[in-house]
Structure 1
């Protein structure tokens, strides 16, 4: 469910990255090629981008399908950026949160998206939610699994954890509480991209020293796209991409009970 994309590189119009490619994020709203769960991403979309000289990103989000918003076409044609995060949201059950449920979420100069689903939501994360300060829960943008996963990751970031550690630990914690969850997370601060591949597809396209794109699926047929293995943490800049395997807590062996010494 859902598709998302993050970009770092030379200044480009939003549309050149999100609309113009033959299999763009815009097209993936109704015709994804590699989506394993869900078929139509029509329950909202959003893009966040960084403007020169301003550390806080701007966002444009809507609750309906991206193809039904003519204002987005104008925005994408004229707004230029060196870093962005865009997402289209899978069709879901009706909810009251409207565009507040659409990624990217934002705080502290960061943009975040979650491609996936938490199994057993909301009960499976009830215990984890109680580890957050009450103020963090009251400030959730939406009553969705993605918003709570973002709050858990943000709490770690605010405690001083590096982005890679914050996302990896959040994924492992949620996966332990809700086995079978799909937890492809995507985070950028405008200078780096951090992501996890956990239960759904993730790809990256890199021209070292020039540009980096991390996306749920390739937006064109460039042969240099590389798929990220499942259960992997990705940390990328314009110059390189680092991949680190993540261990599924469900695969940890259960220790055998120790025998009491016989007398």
Structure 2
């Protein structure tokens, strides 16, 4: 339903990663090669990036397709960064949230994206939503499953969890509440990329001093590696660690939202 990408590396223009490659995220908005659900990602897009000396990322988001935004070409040509997260969106359901529903979502130093869908939304996530403070639910950035998943992740981050723990626990909680959920999550703070493969394609490309984690490769470089399904990825400029995620349907199905988090 979406394509997304996060990158850490030497300073470069946004366009070098998002537009120039032969199968860039820009092209994936209308011609993805590995997308399992949906075919065109024209329901919004967004880019978040980090400027030198500022830990809080900037964002540029729009409700329409990336190819229709003439300002994006200039932005991508001149804005330079060492870390970014970008996404193109194929909406699960029609809505009125406009660019507020487009990833990346952001808070503090974090950028976040969700590629997937939660079946039965919104009723299926009523239980997990009750674990959040009421003000978090009332201040959701959009009335979408992705925004609620982000609120669950952010609550864990602000509670002291690492990015890896926050994503893993959120995936397990949401998958228990909504069996069949597709939960490819992507998170960065500008220094580390954390991601989950749960129901859709995920790849990574690592080279000295740089790493990219993406829904699909943006070129045919043989260094791209596919991430197995139900895997947690933690990557930085020096290393990539893959850890299997537990299968909820076998191990954690009896758990309820009222039980304490591990």
Q: Is 87-96 or 167-176 further displaced after alignment?
A: 87-96
Displacement after TM superposition at 1:254 (Å): 8.3
Displacement after TM superposition at 1:91 (Å): 4.2
In 2, the alpha carbon distance for the partners of 1:93 and 1:118 equals 11
In 2, the alpha carbon distance for the partners of 1:168 and 1:188 equals 14
Find runs of 4+ consecutive structure 1 residues off by over 2 angstroms: 91-94, 251-255
Match of 1:250 in 2: 249
Q: 1:226-257 deviations in whole A, cap 9, x for unaligned?
A: 000000000000000000000121123989xx
In 1, the alpha carbon distance for the partners of 2:252 and 2:159 equals 31
Displacement after TM superposition at 1:96 (Å): 1.1
Displacement after TM superposition at 1:127 (Å): 1.2
Q: Secondary structure at the match of 1:9?
A: strand
Displacement after TM superposition at 1:92 (Å): 4.0
Whether contact under 8 Å (1:61, 1:103) holds in the other structure is yes
Aligned-residue Cα RMSD (Å) equals 1.2
Displacement after TM superposition at 1:216 (Å): 0.1
Q: 1:12-36 deviations in whole A, cap 9, x for unaligned?
A: 1000000000000000000000000
In 2, the alpha carbon distance for the partners of 1:12 and 1:124 equals 42
Match of 2:183 in 1: 183
The 1:3/1:253 distance shift into structure 2, 3 A limit, reads: closer
Q: Which has the larger radius of gyration?
A: 1
Match of 1:156 in 2: 156
Match of 2:258 in 1: none
Say yes or no: does 1:198 pair with 2:198: yes
Say yes or no: does 1:228 pair with 2:219: no
**Structure 1 unaligned regions, length at least 5:** 256-263
In 1, the alpha carbon distance for the partners of 2:224 and 2:78 equals 27
Whether contact under 8 Å (1:38, 1:91) holds in the other structure is no
Match of 1:241 in 2: 240
Match of 1:219 in 2: 218
Q: Secondary structure at the match of 1:87?
A: strand
Q: 1:192-213 deviations in whole A, cap 9, x for unaligned?
A: 00000000000000013x1000
What pairs with 1:34-45 in structure 2 (closer than 5 Å)? 34-45=34-45
Match of 1:73 in 2: 73
Q: Secondary structure at the match of 1:23?
A: coil
Match of 1:6 in 2: 6
In 2, the alpha carbon distance for the partners of 1:211 and 1:199 equals 26
Taking structure 2 as the reference length, the TM-score comes to 0.95
In 2, the alpha carbon distance for the partners of 1:115 and 1:77 equals 26
In 2, the alpha carbon distance for the partners of 1:84 and 1:75 equals 14
Taking structure 1 as the reference length, the TM-score comes to 0.95
Displacement after TM superposition at 1:94 (Å): 2.2
Whether contact under 8 Å (2:176, 2:253) holds in the other structure is no
Q: Is 87-96 or 195-204 further displaced after alignment?
A: 87-96
